[in-house]
Amino acid sequence: MRPTITAFRDSPDRGQGLARDMPVRWALEEVGQPYDVRLVTFTEMKAAAHRGLQPFGQIPSYENGDLALFESGAIVLQIAERHGGLLPEDTAARARAIMWMFAALSTIEPPIVERDAAILVEGNAPWFAARQPLLEERVRHRLTDLSRALGDAEWLGPSFSAGDLVMIGVLRRSSGSGLLEEHPNLVAYVARGEARPAFRRAFDDQYAVFLAAARREEEGIN
Amino acid sequence: MRPTITAFRDSPDRGQGLARDMPVRWALEEVGQPYDVRLVTFTEMKAAAHRGLQPFGQIPSYENGDLALFESGAIVLQIAERHGGLLPEDTAARARAIMWMFAALSTIEPPIVERDAAILVEGNAPWFAARQPLLEERVRHRLTDLSRALGDAEWLGPSFSAGDLVMIGVLRRSSGSGLLEEHPNLVAYVARGEARPAFRRAFDDQYAVFLAAARREEEGIN
């Protein structure tokens, strides 16, 4: 069975691979599972047909036979459970890999997204500059703790897992902010993830979608 | 094997059961697994010994034999996988129950926490009132979509699952804000969760911890 995922037809990140189809693509590449992509416009994302798959009108969704899922974390976990290579065999190590997936999405990502959203939505507000230190401090707190937890290790567990995949995807959002760069071990950790052939293939595939969108834009097609 | 979890010695929510030990307690009660609780002060939470278990200096942690976990979502999933009753047997329904856990923690909770944090930390800031509509709109968006997804159903899946347990725990944070109350089906959904005997037992246990803390405060002991 060949799964189908959805992704932005016109990704707002302009090919940086920061949209949430990226961890799903990466996981599918890691396990060697070919997949189809259905690109959706912003209008299609908010329409009833897509909301039947993804009630929050977002991407990605994942369809595989009778199974329809949303939430990139849940999709990555599903892929990791169906295929070998993304979760350790040892029960305790497996539970800890899943734990890092939750930590990425529920402890590390929210302050990063909050800061990004402030820049995007409140960048011109009179209070923007005054709030920045507060938002940066929230991200800094989490990254400092994560940096200490990773230490000199290559990955968060004994070997690369779905926990690293999701965590690196989240940390990439902070790349270039100066905050990630305060922790050389986290920068190196992200680079190790990005150097994996499966990451490259996933990145190139989502970048090709961006290039097609950019070409349409240039040619005035929409 | 009897697991040990950590919880606040002095919970900042003053017994409302909003701290993250609550979903773990609730899950353990649902599956009938007795457990021990080690209460930690704020100072202990930030100390190296606890950070060995929970690198972000938070509660809860979970120890069971050789396994040590943090992240309430990961702990609830671990409990649900080890015991019957919190995940459907059917593979697709099981994956969707886990999906709702991720949706609760990564789609619904962040805007609720962001709004709560603004009230707590920026309540006296000159921009507080001007930002409130933005923060409320973010919560409202998510709750509206969730309300539509739930519809007239009793639970998010075919029967009560770990997905409902985590989602209801998250929604309780929004209880009384007026935002949850815009959706009578979500209010009723939360009430159905709170009416479960396992929820009551978990709530009463964490409330007893609060009462002991309140007594110490009254007697001037710390």
Q: Which residues of chain B have a CB within 8 Å of the CB of A54?
A: none
Domain boundaries, chain B: 4-85+198-218, 91-196
| Average pLDDT of chain A, as a whole number | 96
Residue that is written with structure tokens 């305790």 in the block: A92
Q: Judge whether B216 is closer than 8 Å to chain A, CB to CB.
A: no
**Average pLDDT of span B138-166:** 98
Per-residue pLDDT tens digits for B92-142: 999 999 999 999 999 999 999 999 999 999 999 999 999 999 999 999 999
**Average pLDDT of span A108-131:** 97
Q: Please, where are the H alpha helices in chain B?
A: 21-30, 42-46, 48-53, 72-82, 91-103, 109-121, 128-150, 162-172, 184-194, 197-218
pLDDT at B66: 94
pLDDT at A222: 61
CATH fourth-level superfamily of B4-85+198-218? Glutaredoxin (3.40.30.10)
pLDDT at A19 over 90: yes
Per-residue pLDDT tens digits for B53-65: 999 999 999 999 9
Nearest to B96 among A69, A95, A99 (CB): A69
Q: Do domains A4-85+198-218 and A91-196 have the same CATH topology?
A: no
pLDDT at B1: 82
Residue that is written with structure tokens 């099981």 in the block: B94
Backbone angles phi, psi at B40, to 5 degrees: -125, 140
**Average pLDDT of span A152-158:** 97
CB contact under 8 A, B71 and A102: yes
**Average pLDDT of span A68-80:** 98
Q: Tell me, what's the ipTM?
A: 0.97
Element (H, E) at A38: strand A36-40
Fold of B91-196: Glutathione S-transferase Yfyf (Class Pi); Chain A, domain 2 (1.20.1050)
pLDDT at B153: 98
Tally of residues, chain B: 222
Interface of B with A in 80-109 (CB under 8 A): 91-92, 95-96, 98-99, 101-103, 105-107, 109
**Average pLDDT of span B188-210:** 98
